[in-house]
Structure 1
Amino acid sequence: MTTLDEKISKLESLLSQVPKGTPTYDTIQQSLDELKLERQKAEASAKELEQPPPEPSSSSSHSEDDTAKHPVNNSVFQAIGVIKGQIESELVTNEEGQEKTLLSLVHQGKKYKLKMPGFKFKVLLQEHQKSPHQELYFRVYPYLQFIPKMPPELRFQINGWQLSPYEDMKENEFILRGIWQFIPQYRRPLITVMRNWIEKKKRDYLLERGLDFKGIHVPLLWKDSSVPPFRFNPKADKQGDRYFVEMKAKFIPKLDTFGFVELLSEPTTTFPRHLLSQAKMARIIERRAQRKKKQKESDSSTSKETVVIEND
């Protein structure tokens, strides 16, 4: 049986032999985009069902120093839900004079910027051009975009879309699994969703292409929360606990935030295995190097004192 990858490879090879702008080229390109979208949906479905692998050995760090002492739980980090709306396109010109098409999601009269892979963008743009006012159900990942000297902006990354409602999730329903905490860039507590652990081969592949494993942040209103959000206190000798929470939440468009609905499990101080951003990983490596240096200097000093005593 021919796999999706093989079909895509054959079409890409065929496309390279056909002149651009011809009807044949457009037909092949459309088929190629549809196959790539099918592969993306299959990979996304597999990722959602995937459970984190066994806990690594002590030589393989996967979390901050202050959380590494805790056992790892069997859940995953996640922020996903469904929004109904329509697509709006805009042709803009950048500083170099190049034209670029931007897509936004319009929901209840509000416009949200979108993020998606290139081939998925092409397919959605084609569907929008055929039916400009068609409302669709979008499966999305929410996240706050932080821009210097600008208010934080809620955006969505599109995972998929369809004409009919999703069977597993209701409109404006979201599943949030992450760390309940404050961060310096935002005045209210939120959910921080780290990137789930992946095998070294995939990790190295993504790093080679410049991807940083930063977490995302999702704004949340949780009145009378069952556990306090973590807030770092630079003056305190001991910090409070960070809690990993799993919940259902509802999107509140008027406030560009999400509201707590119900817990899916009890909050815990244990985290699923996850990846670190390059900056955090660099800080951890630097701290370890400093500790080793101090230990080496301490051992050297002790050795010199021993020699002096023996000479006396």
Structure 2
Amino acid sequence: MPATNELSDQMNEKVEELTPASVESEASSVPESEENPLMFQAIGTLYGTPRQEEEGKFILNLGGNNYGLFFPGYRYKAWLKQHENAPDSPVYLRVYPKCLIIPKKDPIIRFQVAAWGDDNQWDEAPGIFRFRGIWQFVPQLRTPVISIYRNFNASDPQGKFKAAHLPVLMRREDESRPFKFNPKIPKEELPQRWFIQAVFKFIPSRNCWGWVEDIETPTAKIPRYKKPIKAAAPGAPEKGDKKYSANKPIKSDKPAPIIEKKENNPPVVTAEKVPLVMEKKEENPSATVDKVPSEVTILTRGEMAEKLGISDSTLYKRISQAKQESEPPVIECDGQQWQYVDNPSGKGKVFQLGN
């Protein structure tokens, strides 16, 4: 599905441009820890018989509507073997919901498959999802959404940090309301944003999710997250590049012209001599490489549970069992050994990739 993925990338970038991410503040954001498990999350369970329409493209029929499925990385090859062995057998799917929002059209909902099995190994029944995100409006939809941003400590191999805006139907009797950005209102007078943690049921007939019950009471505390990044145009400098400034002229790679001077003036360095000077500066380009600290890959407990496709309680049981075998306990995920250790940058514990 290369064409579909490319279209999704372009449209998601447009949504992020109009999403009021600029109203966030450090004062209203809180870090993740054992004592404060706030995090963004969207995961659920589906049941059905996936059907292959063409090479590399699978769909799942729910309520008479077809929804695209995609399997990232090595999972695609594993799924092909599963499908070849039992093409007509229904399976339980553990999925991350994705939504492509196109102005003046119905949202296009797809599902990224994280795991599957003949039996339901997860806490949620088929069609039930667990959302943790910001309840708000986006300009392209009349229906409010739950916005799922990339958690602050999460890794993103593509470096795009995209958000998922999932349309939901929810009527509440408390003070929480979906946030609506108004550029004409001063930032300090904007309405409160609410972080919702609740169970939702997928409604194919409405192409959205319906609220079932809260997991936790809505809160005005928003966990820290990475702002969505818009991909730069080919050849354009990155916005984060400190060397680039829109107010400064771009230097040309061509050598400077030779300026002739009168005999009384001191000698002038010509263009032919410039490369010699540059070579001296680059005699030892790797001298400072060893001074750059290596990055340590870490995951919070919530992120590890999502990565494994299991509940927090199930992961806690695995940690308890692992403690009986080694200290610190080790959890295996995607063929890698993750140690459960003290958070080097704060309180609580995190999973750190072992040596």
2:88 to 117, 127, 133: 133
CA contact (8 A) 1:86 1:107 kept: no
Match of 1:265 in 2: 216
Distance across 2 between alignment mates of 1:219 and 1:283? 32
Distance across 2 between alignment mates of 1:284 and 1:225? 43
Q: 1:142 to 1:242 in 2, by over 3 A?
A: same
1:245 to 196, 205, 209: 196
Match of 2:53 in 1: 90
- Structural RMSD (CA): 2.9
Distance across 2 between alignment mates of 1:232 and 1:248? 25
**CA deviations over 1:53-102 (Å, ceiling 9, x no partner):** xxxxxxxxxx85632122405311001111101111122xxxxxxxx431
Give the C-alpha shift of residue 118 in structure 1.
3.3
Distance across 1 between alignment mates of 2:96 and 2:229? 22
Give the C-alpha shift of residue 283 in structure 1.
12
Distance across 2 between alignment mates of 1:108 and 1:133? 18
Moved more, 130-139 or 119-128: 119-128
Match of 1:231 in 2: 180
Partner SS, residue 266 of structure 1: strand
**Identical counterparts, % of pairs:** 34
Match of 2:205 in 1: 254
- Relative contact order (C-alpha < 8 Å, sep 6+): which is higher? 1
**CA deviations over 1:89-129 (Å, ceiling 9, x no partner):** 122xxxxxxxx431112234321012221321222122222
Distance across 2 between alignment mates of 1:116 and 1:211? 19
Q: 1:164 to 1:283 in 2, by over 3 A?
A: same
1:78 to 33, 41, 45: 41
Unpaired runs of 5+ residues, structure 2, are 1-20, 232-236, 246-355
Q: How many residues align?
A: 211
Partner SS, residue 262 of structure 1: strand
Match of 2:112 in 1: 157
Q: 1:213 to 1:225 in 2, by over 3 A?
A: farther
Distance across 2 between alignment mates of 1:149 and 1:155? 19
Distance across 1 between alignment mates of 2:62 and 2:194? 32
Q: What one-letter code is carried by the residue in structure 2 that aligns with 1:271?
A: I
CA contact (8 A) 2:72 2:112 kept: no
CA contact (8 A) 1:65 1:284 kept: no
Give the C-alpha shift of residue 180 in structure 1.
0.2
Partner SS, residue 205 of structure 2: helix
Partner SS, residue 78 of structure 2: helix
Q: 1:265 to 1:284 in 2, by over 3 A?
A: farther
Give the C-alpha shift of residue 211 in structure 1.
3.4
Distance across 1 between alignment mates of 2:217 and 2:240? 33
Q: What one-letter code is carried by the residue in structure 1 that aligns with 2:94?
A: R
Give the C-alpha shift of residue 184 in structure 1.
0.8
Q: For residues 1-312 of structure 1, what are the structure 2 equivalents within 5 Å?
A: 64=22, 66-72=24-30, 74=36, 75-91=38-54, 100-147=55-102, 150-198=105-153, 202=155, 206=157, 210-224=158-172, 226=174, 227-237=176-186, 238-279=189-230
Distance across 1 between alignment mates of 2:28 and 2:78? 44
**CA deviations over 1:239-280 (Å, ceiling 9, x no partner):** 111111100111112212111111111211211121111249
Distance across 2 between alignment mates of 1:179 and 1:67? 14
Q: 1:156 to 1:211 in 2, by over 3 A?
A: same
Distance across 2 between alignment mates of 1:173 and 1:160? 16
Unpaired runs of 5+ residues, structure 1, are 1-62, 92-99, 291-312
Distance across 2 between alignment mates of 1:131 and 1:273? 43
Q: 1:283 to 1:64 in 2, by over 3 A?
A: farther
CA contact (8 A) 1:64 1:284 kept: no
Distance across 2 between alignment mates of 1:148 and 1:219? 14
Distance across 1 between alignment mates of 2:139 and 2:98? 16
State the TM-score, normalized to the length of structure 2. Answer: 0.54
State the TM-score, normalized to the length of structure 1. Answer: 0.61
Distance across 2 between alignment mates of 1:122 and 1:150? 33
Q: What one-letter code is carried by the residue in structure 1 that aligns with 2:77?
A: K
